[in-house]
Amino acid sequence: DGSEIQEIKDYISEEKDEENTAEDLFGIAEDRNVVFISVESMQNFVLDKEVNGKEITPFLNDFKEDEDTIWFENFYHQTAQGKTSDSEFIVENSLYPLDRGAVYFTHAQNEYHALPEILNQEGYTPSVFHANNRSFWNRDMMYENLGYDHFYSQREYEVTDENSFGWGLEDKAFYEQSLPYLKNQEKPFYSKFITLTHHFPFELPEKKASIDKLETSSNTLNQYVQTARYTDESLEGFLTRLKEEGLYENTMFVFMGDHYGISEFHNSAMSEFLNKEITGYEHVQLQRVPMMIHIPGYGEGKKYEKITGQIDMKPTLLHLLGIEEKNELNFGENMFDQNRKGFVALRDGSFITEDYIYTDSVCYQKDSEEPVEVENGEESPCAPWKEKVSKELGYSDDIIYGDLFRFYDFKE
């Protein structure tokens, strides 16, 4: 039955601060179009790094410091086996993905109250652009359920030998061919772009590479920087084209890395590149992905150091667009809130707080990056957080496994 949903609602309200302590950014992007770019496999560790004297991501390095950009530098992906689809799911629903399988496949028929549906009710045209086949990750089914109006997929693009490699249509061509569709949408639109080029195994035809490969012991990592650079160039090119097409000024841009691209199997190469040991602490820190919100004309952009995660995207975007959260059930919180619940949970039960990082049963002190030393019989400072995290993940799972939103009235 639906009795548990009330318990979950109570938990969320308790965790949420009653007072509105948010910085007043409510509605600063009201009535704008939204271009949300889910940037395949992009991790923070390439930012501000060089290969043989050349920046890996020169565009993003400047963009994050731009006066119109709000940059969350400690933003974590929270995905599991569902990879890109998990990341989409978290952002759209402010629910956690499952610890095994992909919700997009296993629970595509559930009742949700997702971002595209909400935005649609507010007069937005919600759409997705992704040049892969429609059924990959069961997207065709899920998108309909989540309230998307249109899915521009592979069939809407011209894919040739010249403009494709690896997983398919290369991102530069993808953006260019998306422009007419984007322009013809009724405004305001909420358009999600999912990129493809910077995907494992990160192979790029040599003539398309602008920087050298790395020279670590992992070929995957060595190639990763070249496709990361390609992505950087393609994002810059897309913005330039949107300016030319008159679609820049009145749009809010969101760039988000979907999940890691370099797995822990490449830790020793990673440690060669970063020049430090990849401990459990460092492994968790490597789960940070870009989160940049760009609002042309805003002028007060800055870097936020607070810890945030994909789970926070839905309430944050609604806040910026000036849409009141009425009876929402989100596990995430507005990232501009100054009194947040204090942890970011990763799907494997690892978590980050202001002072600690917990992973693989080890509690690390953030300032020393070393495991916390606990006297015999004393409780680890991570213990109370651990309890909260497992409660929260459990509640989210219950909603999905029990399809509990069937019993909840979002309009009440």
Binding residues for substrate: 199
**Binding to Mn ion by residue 227, rule CB under 5 A?**
no
Nearer Cβ to Mn ion, position 227 or 334? 227
**Binding to Mn ion by residue 258, rule CB under 5 A?**
yes
Spatial separation of the C-alpha atoms in residues 358 and 349, rounded to whole Å:
8
Residues in the chain: 412
Spatial separation of the C-alpha atoms in residues 191 and 115, rounded to whole Å:
11
Strand, helix or coil at 402? helix
DSSP 5-44: HHHHHHHHHHHS-SS--B-S-TTTTTT-EEEEEEETT--G
Encoded one letter per residue, x for contact with Mn ion by CB under 5 A and - for no contact, window 36-65 reads ----x-------------------------
CB of 178 to ligand GP9, least distance (A): 15
**Binding to Mn ion by residue 84, rule CB under 5 A?**
yes
CB of 37 to ligand GP9, least distance (A): 12
**Which partner in ligand GP9, Mn ion, none is near 5 (CB below 5 to 8 A by kind)?**
none
Site stretch for Mn ion (CB under 5 A), options 20-28, 80-88, 156-164, 242-250: 80-88
**Closest residue (Cβ) to ligand GP9?**
83
Which residues make beta-bridge pairs with 255? 37, 292
Q: Which residues bind ligand GP9 (CB under 6 A)?
A: 40, 83-84, 132, 136, 194, 196, 199
Which residues are documented as binding site?
40, 84, 199, 258-259
Spatial separation of the C-alpha atoms in residues 24 and 3, rounded to whole Å:
36
Residue 202 exposed, middle or buried by CB count within 10 Å (0-12, 13-18, 19+): buried
Distance of CA 221 to the CA centre of its chain: 21
CA angle 291, 58, 78 (to 5 degrees): 25
Nearer Cβ to Mn ion, position 83 or 319? 83
**Binding to Mn ion by residue 88, rule CB under 5 A?**
no
CB of 365 to ligand GP9, least distance (A): 33
State the distance between the two ends of the chain, measured CA to CA, in whole angstroms. Answer: 19
Nearer Cβ to ligand GP9, position 310 or 353? 310
CB of 196 to ligand GP9, least distance (A): 6
List active site positions. Answer: 84
Distance of CA 82 to the CA centre of its chain: 13
Contacting positions for Mn ion (CB under 5 A): 40, 83-84, 258
